Amino acid sequence: MTDTLSRRSGGRAARRASRAAPLIDSLRPIRPGMSGGQYKPLSDADVMRIHQTALDALEQIGLADAPPSGVEYLTRAGAILGDDGRLRFPRALIEDTVARATKEITLFGRDPRHDMHLTGAKVHFGTAGAAVHMVDVDGRNYRECTVQDLHDAARIADVLDNIHFVQRPMVCRDIYDNFEMDMNTVYACCGGTTKHVGTSFTDPSYVKGALEMLHLIAGGEDKWRARPFVSNSNCFVVPPMKFATEACQVMEACIEGGMPVLLLSAGMAGATAPSTIAGAIVQATAECLAGLVYVNAVKPGHPAIFGTWPFGLDLRTGAMTGGSGEQALLSAGCAQMHKFYGVPGGAVGGITDAKLPDMQAGWEAMCSNVMSGLSGLNMVYEAAGMHASLLGFCHESLILSDDLIGHALRCVRGIEVDDETLGLEQIREVCLGGPGHYLGTGQTLSRMQSDYQYPSLGNRMSPKEWDENGKPDLLTETIARKQEILSERAAARFDPATDAAIRKAFNIHLPA
């Protein structure tokens, strides 16, 4: 069949060449911020029960361990401090907060081309995490990851169309001082990509230093505040239902500095959250609602992402697992809760438990990525490169994820139904006295680029072509692509004066 068609279709080489050229934006079959929401794992009644149970938990159980400043902000807003030290949240306080919270957020890139508009069911995919290992694919080895690995990850992500943001995916294990590690993380990410960056801070006092660097990069505090291109990934709770005291203080400092906050609740179903999917979503929702009250108590309307990140657990071993079907359901269910509240939200997708970019890695990463996308999750974190249940990051996997996520985004785009796409006239012309096939119709040719997403490294050769081309191996080709990307000069590099100013103020570990 394949061969027959190939012979039949003239101009194949020309079509291939025309398709290999970069597409103008209006013709791109996929782009950041396509709208999902066609997949709804929860019924409306389910969503309402989860909401009501989260309100019950906030009203009756509440959260412990808020810092003194948080207690002040929250009680002033209407939360009630119990004798047991827990802050409890009346239903009306939650409802009022949700009503007033910012519903539309722009996460800026250093380059405005990369701005992300978080609203409705618009979907974006990017990296995130805190891997401690670098996956060395060529050597089949796990080693400690370094600031250079992190910088390289940012550089690679910068050139991949379907990686929309770069939240720090791994920690710099070669920098032992926590302040230096945090500052170098900002430098390595922002110096590698002009896309939006996310990061965390170990200590509240470090935020000042980071802001100083960001003002330098932006060209002044006013410019930074106008378009903050870094957000704070903030684990403000230690599930179940406890504030993370220091992280809350970090959050207050970031709000003060004009940095958007990702309210990250990372419970593990069966360990730090209920083992049931519904229960884990309830708890994450309750915790993030408390976080939303906190942010809006500090500064009404400050941009905050509702970061319900429940993770799965392998209950046989008690070890985390991020590549399961349960994980995909957790994230998709959370996305529906975000839509219910109308607030921009994020959760995890794309994680694999596989140690290498093998078939397991492919099926696990796709399952949660495509389900997150179809559920309309605004921010799919950890979507690319995360292996071994988040312990390892892999550059080759990141590169392949550009194809994988592109594929998922094509599915998110969905099926257009209108007079033209229904094609009755075309069917009539082809069948009644026409050629009996659609290969040469104007509609087929015009839609070759706008409707179809083509993989970059994914291989579509016939077995014969594959054989004639020396049986290309996916990972070998990907390693070559990585080397190609990293051999080019990073486009996101700071100008020399800025770089010198940063290096004067901070101990930057990456070579100039």
By CB under 8 A, residue 508 contacts a copy of itself:
no
Q: Which of residues 398-417 bind a copy of itself (CB under 8 A)?
A: 400, 403-404, 406-411, 414-417
By CB under 8 A, residue 426 contacts a copy of itself:
yes
Q: Ramachandran region of residue 391, left (φ > 0), alpha (ψ -120 to 50) or beta?
A: alpha
By CB under 8 A, residue 53 contacts a copy of itself:
yes
Q: Which of residues 329-358 bind a copy of itself (CB under 8 A)?
A: 329, 333, 353-358
By CB under 8 A, residue 314 contacts a copy of itself:
yes
What are the C-alpha distances in Å from 160 to residues 146, 274, 365, 485? 22, 37, 17, 10
Separation of alpha carbons 413 and 396, rounded Å:
26
Q: Quick count: other Cβ atoms within 10 Å of Cβ 37?
A: 19
CA atoms within 13 A on the CB side of 438: 12
Of 79, 147, 337, 370, the residue at the interface with a copy of itself (CB under 8 A) is 370
Separation of alpha carbons 147 and 141, rounded Å:
18
How far apart are CB 217 and a copy of itself at their closest, in Å?
A: 32
Of 93, 237, 251, 391, the residue at the interface with a copy of itself (CB under 8 A) is 391
Count of residues of this chain found to bind a copy of itself when the rule CB under 8 A is applied: 138
Of 389, 393, 502, 508, the residue at the interface with a copy of itself (CB under 8 A) is 389
By CB under 8 A, residue 320 contacts a copy of itself:
yes
| Beta carbons of 441 and 430 less than 8 angstroms apart | yes
First to last CA, the chain: 56
CA atoms within 13 A on the CB side of 512: 12
| Beta carbons of 491 and 156 less than 8 angstroms apart | no
Q: Which of residues 102-141 bind a copy of itself (CB under 8 A)?
A: 133, 140
Binding piece for a copy of itself, criterion CB under 8 A, among 168-176, 203-211, 226-234, 317-325: 317-325
Write each residue from 218 to 257 as x if it is in contact with a copy of itself (CB under 8 A), else as -, in one continuous string.
Answer: ----------------------xx----------------
By CB under 8 A, residue 23 contacts a copy of itself:
no
For a copy of itself, give the closer residue by CB, 2 or 205.
Answer: 2
For a copy of itself, give the closer residue by CB, 448 or 501.
Answer: 448
How far apart are CB 128 and a copy of itself at their closest, in Å?
A: 15
Of 35, 75, 245, 443, the residue at the interface with a copy of itself (CB under 8 A) is 443
Of 92, 226, 422, 505, the residue at the interface with a copy of itself (CB under 8 A) is 422
Q: φ and ψ at 232, to 5 degrees? A: -100, 115
Of 347, 430, 492, 502, the residue at the interface with a copy of itself (CB under 8 A) is 430
What are the C-alpha distances in Å from 321 to residues 134, 241, 311, 424? 18, 22, 7, 48
Separation of alpha carbons 238 and 273, rounded Å:
10
Q: Which of residues 461-500 bind a copy of itself (CB under 8 A)?
A: 461-463, 466-467, 471, 473-475
By CB under 8 A, residue 360 contacts a copy of itself:
yes
Separation of alpha carbons 279 and 292, rounded Å:
20
Structure tokens at 287: 């915790």
For a copy of itself, give the closer residue by CB, 99 or 319.
Answer: 319
By CB under 8 A, residue 382 contacts a copy of itself:
no
Coil/strand/helix, residue 509: coil
Q: Which of residues 159-218 bind a copy of itself (CB under 8 A)?
A: none
* Residue 191 amino acid letter: G
How far apart are CB 422 and a copy of itself at their closest, in Å?
A: 5
Of 327, 213, 227, the C-alpha closest to 281 is 327
Of 456, 426, 452, 453, the C-alpha closest to 440 is 426
Query: In DSSP terms, which residues pair with 134 in a beta bridge?
Result: 143, 393
Write each residue from 263 to 302 as x if it is in contact with a copy of itself (CB under 8 A), else as -, in one continuous string.
Answer: -----x-xxxxxxxxxx-xxx-------------------
Separation of alpha carbons 371 and 359, rounded Å:
18
Write each residue from 59 to 98 as x if it is in contact with a copy of itself (CB under 8 A), else as -, in one continuous string.
Answer: -xx--x-------------------x--------------
Stated as kind and residue range, the H or E segment containing 314 is strand 312-314
Of 384, 392, 481, 482, the residue at the interface with a copy of itself (CB under 8 A) is 392
User: Is it true that the peptide bond before 240 is cis, omega within 30 degrees of 0?
Assistant: yes
By CB under 8 A, residue 50 contacts a copy of itself:
yes
